[in-house]
A and B are shown apart, each in its own frame.
Chain A
Amino acid sequence: AQTVTQSQPEMSVQEAETVTLSCTYDTSESNYYLFWYKQPPSRQMILVIRQEAYKQQNATENRFSVNFQKAAKSFSLKISDSQLGDTAMYFCAFMSLDYSLKDSNYQLIWGAGTKLIIKP
């Protein structure tokens, strides 16, 4: 069974600093997606970034980028020039693309989340 681990329950940095959130996962599959979702105090779940496992190039979205290490099964999120609006819970998630595993279809496996606080 796949698992996703976020080892940092809470992090706090000053505004404008760079912060890296860690995520590791366990799977025997080779074809999957990885996601980072953000949940601000408004509680809305917002997709931050997506990485396809078959792509070697790390995904980037403006100030957000990932360090995807497939062999190490690591998928960290880097936030550059952090802003007050980045304060949120951040969830790492895994999705299998193995169609032969019925229970895996369409299902996201979630990490426990990291609470990120950006201080002014």
Chain B
Amino acid sequence: DTAVSQTPKYLVTQMGNDKSIKCEQNLGHDTMYWYKQDSKKFLKIMFSYNNKELIINETVPNRFSPKSPDKAHLNLHINSLELGDSAVYFCASSQDQGEQFFGPGTRLTVL
């Protein structure tokens, strides 16, 4: 069974569209994260949720909105997509300060 899963794995869309990426973890972890990895492979934390509460909200555009219906899910909704949003988005989870387990990533391409 996959520990951290993301859907979809690939997403190609037009500028201006709204899209969502879903993430689920079956590890029973309390904390979940969203990262953005740009074309130079640099990883940037976007959001983190601990027990359904936002604990990190880095300076990302407000077009990005995380939603956590329960502690096993952390979805990422993106409004009015722009070319610069093209990247790989990773979901991850951890238990307290333990190591983070990553999903397979979602490659978003905005045309």
> Are A45 and B92 in contact, CB atoms less than 8 angstroms apart?
yes
**CB of A110, distance to nearest CB on chain B (Å):** 5
Residues of A within 8 A of B45 (CB): 107-108
Main secondary structure of the interface of B (DSSP, over half): strand
A16-24, A62-70, A75-83, A89-97 - the one binding chain B? A89-97
Nearest residue (CB) in A for B30 is A106
> Are A45 and B90 in contact, CB atoms less than 8 angstroms apart?
yes
* Distance between Cα atoms of A105 and B97 in the complex (Å): 8
Nearest residue (CB) in A for B32 is A106
Nearest residue (CB) in B for A103 is B56
**CB of B5, distance to nearest CB on chain A (Å):** 12
> Are B99 and A35 in contact, CB atoms less than 8 angstroms apart?
yes
CB of B13 closer than 8 Å to a CB of A? no
Q: List 25 A-B contacts (CB under 8 A).
A: A33-B97, A33-B99, A35-B99, A39-B41, A43-B107, A44-B102, A45-B90, A45-B92, A46-B102, A47-B101, A50-B99, A97-B97, A102-B55, A105-B55, A106-B31, A106-B33, A106-B56, A106-B94, A106-B96, A107-B48, A110-B43, A112-B40, A112-B41, A112-B42, A113-B41
Nearest residue (CB) in B for A49 is B99
Residues of B within 8 A of A110 (CB): 42-43
Chain B residues bordering chain A, tally (CB within 8 A): 24
* Distance between Cα atoms of A112 and B55 in the complex (Å): 24
B residues engaging A (CB < 8 A)?
31, 33, 40-43, 45, 48, 50, 55-56, 88, 90, 92, 94, 96-97, 99-102, 104-105, 107
> Are B99 and A47 in contact, CB atoms less than 8 angstroms apart?
yes
Nearest residue (CB) in A for B42 is A112
Given that A43-B104, A44-B102, A44-B105 are known contacts, is A106 also in contact with B97, CB under 8 Å in the complex? yes
**CB of B83, distance to nearest CB on chain A (Å):** 21
**CB of B97, distance to nearest CB on chain A (Å):** 6
Residues of A within 8 A of B40 (CB): 112
Residues of B within 8 A of A113 (CB): 41-43
**CB of B66, distance to nearest CB on chain A (Å):** 14
